């Protein structure tokens, strides 16, 4: 079964990293706690939160909603906790989702992005993807490489 997530406001930074790895991750700051837990149940999403009170709710403590109580403030350590606990694969489907809205990215021909990316990018990059919802264009530039290094670094033992 492929894991899906819903991320509480208090650990919002986890959403981008999980999306970066390719995991379907909802982050809906406008939901109240009750709505969030209900959504986790109905969509079978793992709830990530720092809220000990939510962890004590019957729906959660009984295991109907799977939830992980996140420890500490450091987003890197928080993600490492989730990765180790659920044995996530860093390479699962990396760079397949929009970091902003969780949508699956669609491949774009280079000529389709001409004029929409900086000229130096257009000259050097041949592979692009676009978010069908926010229309953000992604390419494997330096930002991509930096994030990839972070993910790979986490894979090595004792790298926390
Ligand atoms: Zn998007």
pLDDT tens digits, residue range 37-61? 999 999 999 999 999 999 999 999 9
The residues with which 139 forms a beta bridge, in sequence order, are 128
Q: How far is the CA of 66 from the centre of ligand 1 (A)?
A: 27
**Structure token pair of residue 97:** 């989702």
Which burial class, exposed, middle or buried, applies to 123 when counting CB atoms under 10 A from its CB (0-12, 13-18, 19+)?
Answer: exposed
Q: How far is the CA of 86 from the centre of ligand 1 (A)?
A: 26
Q: Look up the pTM and report it.
A: 0.88
Q: How far is the CA of 156 from the centre of ligand 1 (A)?
A: 30
- Nearest alpha carbon to residue 118 among 100, 98, 102, 137: 137
pLDDT, one tens digit per residue, over 100-137 is 999 999 999 999 999 999 999 999 999 999 999 999 99
């Amino acid at each position: 079964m492929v894991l899906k997530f819903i991320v509480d406001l208090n650990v919002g930074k986890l959403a981008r990293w999980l999306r970066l790895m390719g995991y379907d991750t909802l982050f809906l700051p406008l939901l109240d706690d009750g709505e969030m837990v209900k959504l986790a149940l109905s969509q079978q999403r793992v709830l990530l939160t720092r809220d000990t009170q939510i962890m004590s709710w019957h729906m959660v403590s009984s295991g109907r909603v799977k939830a992980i109580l996140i420890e500490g403030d450091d987003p890197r350590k928080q993600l490492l906790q989730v990765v180790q606990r659920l044995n996530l694969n860093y390479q699962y489907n990396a760079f397949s989702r929009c970091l902003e809205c969780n949508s699956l990215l669609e491949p774009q021909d280079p000529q389709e992005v001409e004029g929409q990316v900086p000229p130096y990018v257009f000259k050097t990059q041949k592979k692009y993807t676009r978010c069908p919802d926010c229309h953000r264009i992604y390419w494997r530039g330096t930002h991509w490489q930096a994030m990839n290094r972070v993910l790979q670094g986490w894979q090595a033992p004792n790298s926390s």
